[in-house]
A and B are shown apart, each in its own frame.
Chain A
Amino acid sequence: MSPELLPLYLLVDLAGEPANPSKQASVDAFVQGFIGVLKEPDLGSRVRLTAVGFGRTVRRVLLRAEPAHASGSLPLPVEGERAYGAAFQKVAGWMKEDLAAFQADGLASQPPLLLVLADGPQAGDDEWETALQGLTAAHPLAVVRLVYHQGHDWGGAPVDPVAEARRIVQGHAALGRSAPRRPSPTKQETVAQAPQVPAHGPARAQAPVKAHTPVLTKALAPIQPQSQPQSQSQSQSQPQSEPRAEVRPQAQPPGRGPEPDWVGGFTPYSVGEPGAAALRVKPRPDPAEWDRRDTVLDGVYLHDVTDRRVLQLRAASVRGLSHRYNGTVRQDDYAFRCTDDRRHLVAVVSDGVSNSKLSHKAASVVTRLGAELVSLALTRKPPAEIDWPEIVTQLSDEIVRLGNKLVEPPPDGGELDAGEIARHLAATALFGVIDLRPVEPEVDAYFYAVGDSSAWVLRDGRHWQPMFETKNSGEGAATSVTKALPLSRPPAGGCVTTTVRKGDVVVLMSDGLGDPLEDGTRTVGRFLAEAWREPPAPLQFAAQVDFARKTHDDDRTAVAIWAV
């Protein structure tokens, strides 16, 4: 299912003297910080931001903008008096236009979220209440009030408005694909510092206000759609002493029970343009292979011989959109294991060559038997002395043996050789060996590869360092010819060695991930660097491996290892 767009409206109170540098600075800082937050991949792909300033006039300074393209500095000059009523009225009209525009483009959107950044109450003659009711009656939306700290000194404020705004937007975005409901209080409530005096009064130390809820807080907090008198009376009966802003998705079906006791949500990852495939492919199973899973994943700690936690591992192998569309199996695979003496971790990634129908079986041999053979070899000699060509030969022999069982024999009744078997089942091989007994503060890592699966070290959570040469970096037309097992003659050459420090991440991956990663310096590189700076939850890791990006529809596999 494609992610719904989240129409986000940021309404910024610009009331004040034009020469009020303190407020101007805090408005600018908030906007910059907030737009920075929206550029995060999980939000950036979904949010369409309309930014509105209201002071002397009510003016849109951003219209349905994709955050990735939005500048962090917007023309929002502090000037004039605030008029909430006029602002709400305008926003109501714009929302209507915007929702129609999304619909016309065939884009699904969730209810809009209106964030109000304000630092003062409304004037007595401001007809905000009717306007807000008009707004909430016309659109199922959530209204959140953020108040910046009196005097705009966020350093000392108990709540950082940017962090608050981020939490609110993320919480709201997470609701995107479920029925609109009132989210759990722990996720949603916004503790806000209430302005007690009109904006830009003399700067003074300000204690959190407990006693009187300012008019605006009261106004924004309890308004319910007129169709729900019951919930209105509930909210009115709540104590009003805590000045809190509210997130209130308004389109609850009547008769719905109390708030659910659960939280959570899921937004698929998308990096840059997701492409038609990500939006439209309806996955099919492979009728020839019911027991081959679409996605497999792991998340574990690994312990050394003294039972000390040394490494953390995340792994996921995810069927590509192309295989999902065509109803064929995932041909990638991975395996990992520690040696019996708990000296080393062995990780293997293999990518079945797609032109050969049985290649996923070759990938299984390479990963499982490969991990076993390497572990066995490590009981006899150190990683640097492993005879890799010998391991490749053993794996090739096993694939040929398996192939001769699966593939129809030649007419003369003989055995098929490696070259002939490779037409039916073939797979790349990438091995990583990591020392579980670190020489503080470094860990030694060893890599060996046949074919285009690639090993990387994410240094300091920032820079992707390839362990092997990356492909398609040169001139000419791109090619995708890949070396794979079985090979009748294994390639000469040994392994690559590196040292890994705390804060680095070792990642083994198939080309389904390696191709969009490019040289690690572009969008996907930045996305994964940020996502994997720390080990994510295992399911989240798999979802990140499965990110949507136009034309990248191959199977993807990643095994990532962090030093604890």
Chain B
Amino acid sequence: MDHSGAKLLPFYLVVDVSLSMQGSKLDEANKIMPAIVDALSENPILSDKVRFGLIDFSDDAQVRLPLCDLLDPDLTLPALSVRGGTSYAAAFQTLQREIDANVAQLKADQYVVHRPAVWFISDGEPTDQKQVWERAFADLTSARIYPNFIPCGVDQADIKVMSSLIHPSAGAKKMALYMMETGHDPAKAITGMAEILISSMIQSGLSLAGGGTGTILPPKSSLPAGIKQYDPDDFV
């Protein structure tokens, strides 16, 4: 049916499935997509516009759910399982390929596509070489259709590494980093990240309805326990 000019808000959830995620962390990660589906099905304003894609990464990155309407009745949500190491480069490259292809396709289908938001959840440091993943990240964020990149670190994730992934890191539309507070339960922190993601999704959708700017992050005051928000300016 005709939909030319329909506005879309693409989201990508990128989840670390290295071996260290095994156990309750992975269990909580597997609950994120169903929670998003619940939030969308309650909110018809949002569900008309939001598209979600799921990518997991370890030594390689895999598109587990291509960008789609999560309320599609024929959809089956994939279950994540752990694989091996932690290649950030693989995640960034796959992400860039997906964004390019998805946005091009949606535009060809006459949608008006807003800037994608990427929620990147990792529990450890990258196992690939620094210059390799840095290069891949630079390619991703310098592309014409670059995403708003929101890193979320739990457990052993390195705050220095994670903070370098905030994009844009300056200007009126700068993003932020969410980190688990030291000593907090990492599985609960993942649940908290999901809450932040959903809150951001709702506010972004709301803002879009009235000519807003795309990705809106929830106010710092409303963060779940055990999670701290860092702005790019917090790091020198």
Contact = CB atoms under 8 A, between A and B. Distances in A.
B113 interface: yes
A232 interface: no
Given A275-B44, A325-B44, A477-B115, A66 B210 contact: no
B47 interface: yes
A331 B48 contact: no
A475 B103 CA distance: 11
A427 B47 CA distance: 28
B127 to A, nearest CB: 32
Interface stretch (B3-11, B82-90, B149-157, B179-187): B3-11
A276 B44 contact: yes
Contacts of B44: 275-277, 279-281, 325
Contacts, number: 114
A378 interface: no
A516 B211 CA distance: 13
Interface string A434-478: 000000000000000000100000000000000000001001111
Contacts of B228: none
Nearest to A452: B211
Interface stretch (B15-23, B25-33, B201-209): B201-209
Nearest to B46: A277
Nearest to B8: A551
A518 interface: yes
Contacts of A355: 207, 210, 212
Contacts of B208: 480
B2 interface: yes
Nearest to A518: B5
Contact of B2 (A353, A515, A523): A523
A355 B204 CA distance: 11
A329 to B, nearest CB: 11
Contact of A354 (B2, B43, B49, B212): B212
B144 A475 contact: yes
A481 B115 contact: no
A324 to B, nearest CB: 9
B211 A551 contact: no
Interface in B111-131: 112-116
B4 A522 contact: yes
B48 A550 contact: yes
B1 interface: yes
A352 to B, nearest CB: 8
Given A478-B113, A480-B211, A272 B45 contact: no
A405 B208 CA distance: 29
Nearest to A66: B1
A235 interface: no
Interface residues on A, range: 35 or more
A551 B212 contact: no
Interface in A472-506: 472, 475-482
B213 interface: yes
Contacts of B209: 320-323, 354, 553-554
Most B CB within 10 A of own CB, among A68, A476, A481, A551: A551
Contacts of B1: 66, 68, 272-273
B80 interface: no
A188 B184 CA distance: 72
B37 interface: no
Interface string A252-278: 000000000000000000011101110
A546 interface: no
Contacts of A550: 3, 6, 48
Contacts of B2: 68, 271-273, 522-523
Given A277-B45, A476-B144, A554 B211 contact: yes
B113 A477 contact: yes
A507 interface: no
A280 B46 CA distance: 12
B213 A480 contact: yes
A279 B110 CA distance: 23
Q: Which residue of A271, A272, A322 has the most chain B CB atoms within 10 A of its CB atom?
A: A322
B17 to A, nearest CB: 29
Contacts of A551: 3, 6-8, 48-49
A552 interface: yes
A518 B4 contact: yes
A322 B5 contact: no
A228 interface: no
Given A272-B3, A275-B48, A281-B44, A477 B103 contact: yes
Interface string B186-228: 0000000000000000000011111111100000000000000
Most chain B beta carbons < 10 A, residue from A66, A271, A277, A281: A277
B231 to A, nearest CB: 19
A478 B113 CA distance: 6
B98 to A, nearest CB: 15
Given A273-B2, A522-B4, A551-B7, A476 B145 contact: yes
Interface in B46-89: 47-49, 71
Given A276-B48, A524-B5, A552-B7, A482 B211 contact: yes
Given A477-B114, A478-B112, A522 B212 contact: no
A442 B154 CA distance: 69
Nearest to B43: A325
A522 B4 CA distance: 8
8 contacts: A66-B1, A68-B1, A272-B2, A277-B44, A322-B45, A354-B211, A478-B112, A553-B209
What are the 5 tightest A-B residue pairs by CB atom distance, in nearest-first order? A354-B210, A322-B209, A272-B2, A276-B44, A477-B115
Given A353-B211, A480-B208, 5 more contacts: A277-B45, A320-B210, A354-B211, A479-B114, A549-B6
